Amino acid sequence: MRILFLGDVVGKPARQMVMASLNDLRDELAADFIIVNVENSAGGFGITPKIADAFLEAGADVLTTGNHVWDKREIFDYIDKQPRLLRPLNMPDGTPGQGVVQVSNQTGQSLTVMHSMTNLFMPETEPMFPHLKTALSGIKLKRDSDAIVLDIHGEATSEKAAAALYIDGKVSLVVGTHTHIPTADARILPQGTGFMTDAGMCGDYTSVIGMEPAGAIGRFLKDPQAKLAVALGAPSLSGVIVSTDDATGLAHEIAPFRRGGALSPTHNVL
């Protein structure tokens, strides 16, 4: 099975590029499933029901989010009705939505997507590691799902690496989101789980993590008039693609994916 994961989509130009590319990317990469992190897709902050529907109609199989999931208040009711839009699983009991979903494609393959948020340097939520353990206690690779992917949304690279090694061998892929910068460490861990610390963003890289430089720099200079706004230059698509073993569900190959905009494109796609 081949799974494409695209990192945080930042703003309108990036989301339009992603939506316009999904079907072609599915064909080009022979991707059986496509997962997209969409938490910054509505003006850089959050997601709306209309945008979520558009991503799903364009061909995304599952949408993940993160700390900005609730920035648009209208998403509260929607997320309870649309299981393919995930929020982190370690949010408190009673939080709308869910952090795990299983989907199937037309050939009968099944994919479980899990979504968590780290604790270091992030908004307060429940401890991540116990929640991962609980979630995986009821889902076994190949017994219950042909592949399992975890989007781990967080700031600290150490926490992402620790979590990936903690569940190594139990899931197909652990991929980090949130920092908007793609890391150069896509690899397969000792027990067979694919891992990349951060997928990067789908957005304009001639920016400060997707925002116009003037406003972002102004905030560092303590300018009270500085405001953040999405950078509107040519976006790059950034993410990771993993191929899983049919017998075990573990990673067989993994490679970063980059296309367009300011970033150098990848040519070693599986």
- Per-residue pLDDT of 228-251, as tens digits, reads 999 999 999 999 999 999 999 999
Q: What pTM was estimated for this model as a whole? A: 0.98
Residue 40: beta bridge partners? 10
**Strand-pair category, 194-196 with 187-188:** antiparallel
**Could you give the percent of the chain with pLDDT greater than 90?**
99
Based on the residue annotation, tell me whether 252 is a catalytic residue of this protein: no
- Beta-carbon contacts of residue 139 (< 8 Å; ≥ 6 apart): 100, 112, 145, 148
pLDDT tens-digit readout, 92-116: 999 999 999 999 999 999 999 999 9
pLDDT number for residue 270: 81
Residue 265 included in any domain:
no
Rounded Cα–Cα distance for residues 54 and 219 (Å): 33
Residue 268 in domain? no
Pick the catalytic residue: 68, 115, 131, 180?
A: 68
Among 238, 221, 245, residue whose Cα is nearest residue 169 = 245
Dump pLDDT digits (tens) for 115-134: 999 999 999 999 999 999 99
Angstrom distance (rounded) from CA 13 to CA 175: 24
Q: What are 81's two structure tokens?
A: 């009705």
In the predicted model, is pLDDT for residue 268 greater than 80?
A: no
The total number of structural domains in the chain stands at: 1
At residue 144, does pLDDT exceed 90?
A: yes
Q: Is the pLDDT of residue 19 over 90?
A: yes
Does a structural domain hold residue 45? yes
Does 120 map to a domain?
yes
CATH code for the domain in which residue 169 is found: 3.60.21.10
pLDDT confidence of residue 106: 95
Q: Which domain holds residue 183?
A: 2-259
Question: Given pLDDT bands bounded at 50, 70 and 90, which one contains residue 53?
Answer: very high
In a domain, 74, yes or no: yes
High-pLDDT (> 70) share of the chain, %: 100
Position 75 pLDDT exceeds 90: yes
What is the predicted pLDDT for the residue at 10? 98
Residue 131 domain-assigned?
yes
The whole-number pLDDT of residue 269 equals 76
> Does 267 have pLDDT greater than 90?
no
Q: Whole-number mean pLDDT of the chain?
A: 97
Taking the CA atoms of 161, 164, 169 and 173 in sequence, report the sign of the dihedral they define.
negative
The model's confidence at residue 49, banded by pLDDT at 50, 70 and 90, is very high
What's the rounded Cα separation, in Å, for the pair 195 and 251? 9
How far is it, in rounded angstroms, from Cα 79 to Cα 36? 16
